[in-house]
Structure 1
Amino acid sequence: MVFRSDYPDIEPLDLPIHEEVLGTAALHPDTPALIDGVTGRSVSYAELDADVRRVAAGLAEAGVRKGDVVALHSPNSLAYPVAFYGATRAGATVTPVSSLATAGELAGQLRDSGARWIITVSPFLPVATEAAAVLAAEGRPVREVFVCDASDRHRSLADLLASTAPEPGLSFDPAADIAVLPYSSGTTGLPKGVMLSHRNICGNLLQTDAVYRPAVGERILAVLPFFHIFGLTALLNQPLRAGATVVVLPRFDLEQFLRTIQEQRIEGIFAAPPIVLALAKHPLVDQYDLSSLRYLLSAAAPLDADLADACARRLGLPRVHQGYGMTELSPVTHVLPQDDLDPPRGTVGRMIASTELRVLSLDDPGTELGVGERGELVFRGPQVMRGYFGRESETDAMIDADGWLHTGDVGYVDERGYLFVVDRVKELIKYKGYQVAPAELEALLLAHPQIADAAVIGVTDGDGVERPKAYVVRVPGSVLTEEEVTAYVAGQVAPYKKVRAVEFLAAVPKSASGKILRRELRDRAR
């Protein structure tokens, strides 16, 4: 069975990303496009558009040419969108780099992507210059390292803004030209460059309009990293395209986060589950006026329904909305619409326009499943990536001959068309032939009043049997024991789902987007 979106199909958008996002800036030139949540500094749409055009001219004058790859290695800031859209307007492909990247990791991404330009910030210069030195030693020199702020040894965005060179007059092929090259592990293996064309990105924005499009001047808090595709799309591309005001924070600090909501009268928040957890449970939340909030949307990792309900009750919201997608899907396939008055608990939403979904049997991948049946989710639509950069075989393993992208996620569609994601194929634990979903056990553990966070993986013992093991973070002052944790779970699940081992941690390792780093836990278990 093929599930199709209820929304009208879209026509492909044949515009480069900078034109689609900032093309309407002249309609609201004095509206604040960006506000620094720490300093309060504001940048209007007219200023943002002018700065992007000047930076593009400066980059072109420096030697950036159409098709070059520029690595953008920076935390969230007012300068980030100027650098990003300036680079794409100059014809470059931007490969966003995690703020947490080591010199070795940055060098690896530079090497793999073929990037020859770096835009970073002065605190990250030791990492950037070390990575550049590694590539130089390999005979792949980086042409230049720019900074978003200031440095005695490197040109800055201010220097590029001062350029008097003409804007680059380029023609784009939005279907073929790659706008963004983020890195993702996909369903298996090491991170790979995901080729997202201008049409992929712009089309996905248009696809989501029916379920989410902020109003001009609507205030949205941007704390999720822009280098992640979720942050880039939900906190820059879509709000700036709509004329909203993006209030930028460089990182998540709960007190600063709450203070910014109060002072800037934030209306919308995009979050990952760890932020939802803090909003639901941390006592600091009660000290701030969060009454301006109208909606909160969580994505990037599974969110337990009970946790979502607890957060919504505490914030006085009807519900916590969810969305679903992945980097390889530009990234959105599902969103829970803001005007949906009666969604089922735990859903990640409804399928956006021009999207098709099949649910494949886990035991027989050639068999399509129907309503209410759980299997692997595979998608087709204009948001499907062009492929993994330089990895044809891995692209073929991800996207079949008919254009269906295999997500590795397990879920089902209910009779009303809502999607539920229950786990990932590669994360499923097989205990004596039974499938155990880590997300289910994690949700149960998080409901315990003495557990602040938790993760579950499968650990194979000497007898070759894979068993669920829980990594648990106690709340401060708790003396919770392993026996108490295992008994708590055992009393609420089928025997094959019981947690067989418990280890207490200071923190569950997670990516910047909030996903549990299960590979680190598996390495720890060896």
Structure 2
Amino acid sequence: MTELTIPDATVYETLFGSLTGPDLERIAIVEGGSGAALTFGELRDRVDAFAGALAARGVVPGDVVGLIAPNGPGFAIAFHGILRAGATATTLNALYTAKEIGNQLADARAVALVTVSPLLERARPAAERLGIPAERLVVLDGADGHPSLADLLAQAAPPPEVTIDPATHLAVLPYSSGTTGHPKGVMLTHRNLVANVVQCGAIGVEGDDVVLAVLPFFHIYGMTVLLNYALLHRARLVTMPRFDLAELLRLIEEHRLTWLFIAPPIAVALAKHPAVDGVDTSSVRAVFSGAAPLDRHLADAVADRLGCAVAQGYGMTETSPVTHVTDWTDPDVDRASVGRPVAGTQVRLVAAGGADVEPPTSGPSEPGEVWIRGPQVMVGYLGRPEETAATLDADGWLHTGDLATVDDTGVYRIVDRLKELIKYHGYQVAPAVLEAVLLESPDIADAAVIGGRDEDGQEIPQAFVVRRAGSDVTAEQVMAFVAERVAPHEKVRAVEFIDAVPKSASGKTLRRELRTPAVS
């Protein structure tokens, strides 16, 4: 295990505390659509002012503030302003329904919410349900009856003097389904985030890099690997609120992007779409994929087409998230691997019987469940001691639920998952949530949901449905029923009708018995 030195500092102090001289004038973040840019100095000043405005509205250290907004300078200001005020940010998926927003805010006990006007129709009912007053529902781009970002900055309120312990004070509460079940608040401290952003140095972004920020900042991958990591290394972030291939290609040429941080579905577009032909991608040094496994053939196709290195990493929300990265500078790197552990990270592979997998003398080992211990590992799940104990043992080992092998050079490969979580386009989808929705239908007697595969080999939510007697409900009707009740990324994408859902003697759904080949 490589040694790691972690600053005894907050996230704000780590990213902005050493800003001096020329760095203040460097461009920190650019809104890709408009070209509007902020220097590091301007960003820091706005973060300070946002923190001051929150404090003036009664937000104190330890309070939780919700943040639901697309990528852009406003998100960065609000996110770091929340942390600067000593509060805890709970970031929400911008695709969530009003009910899902309300559920997360209630579970996190949020006292304020920051959003944008296009999301206000869903955010306002959730805020009202919790009793969040209008003056604490900030609409960054403005809306009648609510303070805007411009309003908060115009107050010019000084940031509060806060004294917190980075090792114990919660910085963020992202929500994850963990190894199974419904979403849970993942308690990550300032030390967790600071440790992981330092550990991300293994990725290799430098100060002269221009980094694509299309992966959402509300997701732990975008939060740590893009927003915080790029800021720490004084690189330039170019944001996109959502993925659009034509816009991405325009940004590559206009801004001379050097790093593309993506998820596998974007890799499919880069490898296959004819729009890429004729685009000057010579500025791109590396494509780094995360959030879901990247197939070797797809990685090779992207590397060949763009003429750049392709690498990937591994991690989870519960590890802030990065635990492994591949070395993109190695011409012989196995692009299907997730590389080696980052500094300060201990890894065990544990076989089904509880014994550690023996390290191989050559080639890959036998598979085992990945256990992680390190400074980036969460404190636990908010208000869920039993789920915490099932995932994080007394010795500090996080049981990931993923199966991997390791070779004699220390390179790891994820080969399967023990956990039932589905990764659709990098977003987490909990089978239990979709099964509950399916069972609301009067046409459905029973249902189970697993991760199927589409024609590109990407994981999708696939439902196995038992019709009620006398029903002739179709697959299209089932998918439409679910689509009306969930966020877009949670939609069921394939349906198969079966006579009975396989279950154990205790009634647990045996999802592994439903695994199928690719969906055509």
> What is the TM-score normalised by the length of structure 2?
0.82
- The structural deviation recorded for 1:143 is 6.7
Find the aligned partners of 1:213 and 1:116 in 2 and give their Cα distance: 38
Find the aligned partners of 2:497 and 2:169 in 1 and give their Cα distance: 41
Matched, 1:242 2:233: yes
Matched, 1:156 2:151: no
Matched, 1:187 2:179: yes
Task: Check whether the contact 2:460–2:492 (CA below 8 A) recurs between aligned residues.
Answer: no
Find the aligned partners of 2:172 and 2:15 in 1 and give their Cα distance: 14
- The structural deviation recorded for 1:457 is 8.0
Other-structure match for 2:384: 391
- The structural deviation recorded for 1:205 is 1.4
Q: What 5-or-longer segments of structure 1 have no aligned partner?
A: 430-437, 446-450, 463-470, 472-504
Other-structure match for 1:379: 372
Correspondence for 2:10 among 7, 16, 19: 16
Q: 1:61 to 1:257 in 2, by over 3 A?
A: same
Deviation readout 1:94-118 (Å, 9 max, x if unpaired): 0000010111000000100000100
Percent identity, aligned pairs only, is 45
Other-structure match for 1:400: 393
Q: 1:457 to 1:69 in 2, by over 3 A?
A: closer
Other-structure match for 1:126: 121
- The structural deviation recorded for 1:423 is 1.7
Correspondence for 1:75 among 61, 70, 80: 70
Matched, 1:262 2:257: no
Other-structure match for 2:359: 370
Matched, 1:424 2:447: no
Q: 1:518 to 1:128 in 2, by over 3 A?
A: closer
Q: What 5-or-longer segments of structure 2 have no aligned partner?
A: 423-449, 467-474, 502-520
Greater Cα offset, 87-96 or 329-338: 329-338
Task: Check whether the contact 1:457–1:522 (CA below 8 A) recurs between aligned residues.
Answer: no
Correspondence for 1:329 among 319, 333, 341: 319
Find the aligned partners of 2:189 and 2:223 in 1 and give their Cα distance: 14
Correspondence for 1:350 among 340, 358, 361: 340
What is the number of equivalent residue pairs in this alignment?
455
Q: 1:454-469, aligned counterparts within 5 Å? A: 454-455=458-459
Q: 1:54-73, aligned counterparts within 5 Å? A: 54-73=49-68
- The structural deviation recorded for 1:212 is 2.2
Deviation readout 1:105-146 (Å, 9 max, x if unpaired): 00000100000100000111111111122223xxx7687200
Find the aligned partners of 2:176 and 2:357 in 1 and give their Cα distance: 27
- The structural deviation recorded for 1:455 is 3.9
- The structural deviation recorded for 1:297 is 0.2
Correspondence for 1:233 among 224, 233, 245: 224
Secondary structure class of the residue paired with 1:29: helix
Deviation readout 1:475-504 (Å, 9 max, x if unpaired): xxxxxxxxxxxxxxxxxxxxxxxxxxxxxx
Secondary structure class of the residue paired with 2:126: helix
Q: 1:75 to 1:195 in 2, by over 3 A?
A: same
Deviation readout 1:356-393 (Å, 9 max, x if unpaired): 1111113x134544331101101101111000011111
Find the aligned partners of 1:144 and 1:297 in 2 and give their Cα distance: 37
Matched, 1:105 2:94: no
**Matched AA of 2:343:** A
Task: Check whether the contact 1:120–1:146 (CA below 8 A) recurs between aligned residues.
Answer: yes
- The structural deviation recorded for 1:214 is 2.1
**Matched AA of 2:74:** A
Find the aligned partners of 1:144 and 1:92 in 2 and give their Cα distance: 14
- The structural deviation recorded for 1:408 is 0.5
Q: 1:403 to 1:142 in 2, by over 3 A?
A: farther
Find the aligned partners of 1:150 and 1:323 in 2 and give their Cα distance: 38
**Matched AA of 1:415:** D
**Matched AA of 2:334:** P
> What is the TM-score normalised by the length of structure 1?
0.81
RMSD, matched Cα: 3.0
- The structural deviation recorded for 1:422 is 1.3
**Matched AA of 1:10:** L
Matched, 1:252 2:246: no
Correspondence for 1:90 among 81, 85, 90: 85
Matched, 1:116 2:119: no
Deviation readout 1:216-263 (Å, 9 max, x if unpaired): 231001000000000011111001011000001111011111111111
Find the aligned partners of 1:459 and 1:154 in 2 and give their Cα distance: 41
Other-structure match for 1:478: none
Find the aligned partners of 1:180 and 1:19 in 2 and give their Cα distance: 16
Q: 1:524 to 1:375 in 2, by over 3 A?
A: farther
Task: Check whether the contact 2:135–2:147 (CA below 8 A) recurs between aligned residues.
Answer: no
Correspondence for 1:413 among 395, 406, 422: 406
Task: Check whether the contact 1:25–1:243 (CA below 8 A) recurs between aligned residues.
Answer: no
Find the aligned partners of 1:419 and 1:384 in 2 and give their Cα distance: 19
Task: Check whether the contact 1:223–1:249 (CA below 8 A) recurs between aligned residues.
Answer: yes
Task: Check whether the contact 1:213–1:238 (CA below 8 A) recurs between aligned residues.
Answer: no
- The structural deviation recorded for 1:30 is 1.0
Find the aligned partners of 2:421 and 2:70 in 1 and give their Cα distance: 33
**Matched AA of 1:111:** A
Secondary structure class of the residue paired with 1:293: coil
Other-structure match for 2:39: 44
Deviation readout 1:190-210 (Å, 9 max, x if unpaired): 00000000000001112222x
Q: 1:141 to 1:164 in 2, by over 3 A?
A: closer
Task: Check whether the contact 1:213–1:242 (CA below 8 A) recurs between aligned residues.
Answer: no
Q: 1:458 to 1:252 in 2, by over 3 A?
A: closer
Find the aligned partners of 2:460 and 2:238 in 1 and give their Cα distance: 35
